[in-house]
Amino acid sequence: MKIITVLLLLSFCCPFSDALKCYVCSSTTTNDACNQSSQTCQTPLDTCMTTVDTFDKIKAIGKYCASVRTCKGAASGASVDANGNGNQVTCCSSNLCNINGATGVGLSTLLTLAVCCSHAVLSILWLL
């Protein structure tokens, strides 16, 4: 009886891992349209990846299951020019976490730029 109780308690302590679910789409122009379909990722795909390609204010959004290595590699090569043209990539790893990937990317880029600019301004003011 003690063994059954211990096994039962251990089963509550140890999480069961389910496969990751991500929103999936390809070359969609709006985030809402991209969130119409989801997919259970197959092993070893453990990350939801969102790509946003922008040219002349026209967006092509893609959402996929990917490996963390693939996603981080794509994210490190992503860039956007002063006109907003370029490629943005976000990676996340919880179920359906890429729901706002297309809008969240721009916001995180703006926040990073704001922090860098404020640091530069404060550094200049400190030197004066």
Res. 3 pLDDT band, cuts 50 70 90? low
pLDDT tens profile 70-90: 999 999 999 999 998 999 999
For 43, the token pair is: 């092993």
What HEC string does the chain produce? CHHHHHHHHHHHHCCCCCCCEEECEEEECCHHHHCCCEEECCCCCCEEEEEEEEECCEEEEEEEEECHHHHHHHHHCCEECCCCCEEEEEEECCCCHHHHHHHHHHHHHHHHHHHHHHHHHHHHHHHC
What are the structural domains of the chain? 17-127 (2.10.60.10)
Distance CA 128, CA 121 (A): 11
The pLDDT score that the predictor gives to residue 17 is 55
**Rounded Cα distance, 66 and 39, in Å:** 12
Mean pLDDT, to the nearest integer, of 15-20? 66
pLDDT greater than 90 at residue 97: yes
Task: Determine the pLDDT at residue 116.
Answer: 46
Instruction: Tell me which of 55 and 113 has the higher pLDDT.
Output: 55
